[in-house]
Structures are given as structure tokens and as C-alpha cells.
Copies of this chain bind each other. A is one copy, B any other.
Amino acid sequence: MTTPGTLLSQVLAQLQASPEPRMREVMTSLVRHLHEFAAEVRLTDREWAAAVGFLTETGRLPERDEFILLSDTLGLSMLVDLLGGHAAEGATETTVLGPFYVPDSPRRGNGTSTAERPSGDPAFVSGRVLGTDGTSITGAEVDVWQNGADMMYAVQDKTMPPGNLRGLFTTDDEGRFSFLGVRPVDYPVPVDGPVGRLLEATGRHPWRAAHLHAIVRADGYHPVTTHLFDDESRYLDSDVVFGVKPSLIKHFTPHEPGQPDRPAGIGPAERWYSLDHDFVLVRAT
């Protein structure tokens, strides 16, 4: 008499001939958990058919990679990030890359603006790139991208120049970088596909907490892919992709308009923000 246990043994036995040991290890664990899940909930025919339909539709969506969004919203992407992290004491923590990164950001000089069009409240971001021993790193690259007041990244908003709110900055001989961006805003992940329906069916909102993205790279160090979150976001505790880590939450300090110490590029009548943050990298061994 076949039972869930004897069936699982048959499937696992067939995987033993995998030529790659790692493939055998991964598939053995995957199949065991898949079967344990189905047996635990006593998955029905009808639910199985709904799941097959959901996965097929997720793969078929032509305009974006919906499976990445599914992985993000189930917390799997952050788990993989966590498992692979170089989480040395004092180093900047990593978070998801997200779907909106575009390589080859425009190179810009320190202190200049990433906003090629009016895009929101100006935010002057500055800091250093350091090693975990406190050494400042000269010539490190700080690659930043973010959204503005319209909640969209340049890659999503065809009315914006492709380099808008993106920039590649290089640290000076004290390890310093700076740029004039805008204060980022909360935004929803795309909800017009199967992942949007799954979020709704599980009573979840689709919002990400406002953040700037950065990848920081330096010769001799592990690069870090991270965010800086706005501490006034409503979604810090419920970011839909679970990307928030406490060490990445920062305060955008507000400044009244018209003061003489305002950075270049900010008009005399503009309210603006500043954020000072050091990125700390782990030496590659």
C-alpha cells in the first residue's frame, strides 16, 4: 500500500543518481519539503490545479520577471541575501537588489545632483566609505539609484531621462562622497499580476518603505548591495519584500529654506533634507 512516506522514499531514491552532488543535495531537500508541505496541509486536487495555474501565469507575464517579485514578497530573496552575507561586525548590512537596478549609471562629480528633472524634495547625501578597521577608502565607487515624488524609478517612467536619480560617485582622498538627490517616497510593487492577487488574497499591502539604493565597490573589498531607509516611512515594519534591517534606517534631517549654508543646486525658497552615512566594507581575503 502506497503511503506519503513510501512515495517520498521512491522519489528521493530516483534523485540519488544525480551526477552533481550539489544538485542531489538541493533537490533532495526541495522534494522532501515540497512533499511535507502538501501532506501537512492535505493539499486538495482543486488547490493543486489552482497552484499550477498560478505558477504558469507567473512565468508567462511578458513585461517583467514576476518570479523575482514572488520570491521577494515571500521573503525568499532576503533569506538568500542573509545566507550569503559577509556579515562582519560593524560592516554595512546588505539587502535586496530589487528589479530596478540598471548597470552603467552616469558618472557624476561629488556634490552634484542626480536629478536631471525636478523630482521631489532635495536631499543632500554625504559620507565616507571605510573598512571595518576604520580605514578610509579612496577611489571607492558609490552607485546610487532611487525613486522620486512620482513613486517611479527612471527605468519605469518613460517620461524621465534614463539617468534621472541615478549616479556613480567616487570617493576622494579622505574616502568621502556626496550627491544631491531627493527624499525617496514609499511605493507599491506592481500589483496587476498573479503576485498582486496573492498579496490581496493573503490580506497584505503591496508597499515598500521609502529608500535609496546603493551598491558600494572598492578594490580589495567585498562589494555591498544595500538600501538607506527613511525613518519616517509608514512601512518600515511591514515592507512587502522584508528588506528593512534596523541598521539601515536613517533620518533625513530637515532644513528651512533660504539659509546661506545650503548646498549648491538648492533654490533659496526650497525646503531640503540632509543625510550623512558611512558605508563600511569587509576586506576580501
Contact = CB atoms under 8 A, between A and B. Distances in A.
Interface residues of A, number: 68
A142 to B, nearest CB: 21
Given A60-B60, A76-B48, A14 B238 contact: yes
A83 B15 contact: no
A57 B59 contact: yes
Given A15-B202, A48-B76, A67-B55, A82 B29 contact: no
Contacts of A102: none
Interface string A33-70: 11111111111110110001001111110000101100
Interface stretch (A16-24, A144-152, A177-185): A16-24
Contacts of A25: 41
Interface in A151-171: none
A23 B203 CA distance: 10
Nearest to A66: B56
Given A41-B26, A47-B26, A4 B83 contact: yes
Contacts of A93: 2
Interface stretch (A5-13, A119-127, A257-265): A5-13
A249 B84 CA distance: 48
A71 interface: yes
- Among A52, A60, A79, A201, the most chain B Cβ lie within 10 Å of the Cβ of A79
B52 A82 contact: no
Main secondary structure of the interface of A (DSSP, over half): helix
A33 B1 CA distance: 27
Nearest to A26: B41
A242 interface: yes
Contacts of A203: 15-19
A51 B5 CA distance: 26
A88 interface: no
A41 B29 contact: yes
A30 to B, nearest CB: 6
A204 B14 contact: yes
A74 B34 contact: yes
23 contacts: A2-B78, A2-B82, A2-B93, A3-B82, A4-B82, A7-B242, A10-B75, A11-B74, A18-B201, A18-B202, A23-B202, A29-B37, A29-B41, A35-B76, A38-B80, A39-B83, A44-B80, A44-B83, A48-B71, A55-B58, A55-B59, A56-B59, A56-B67
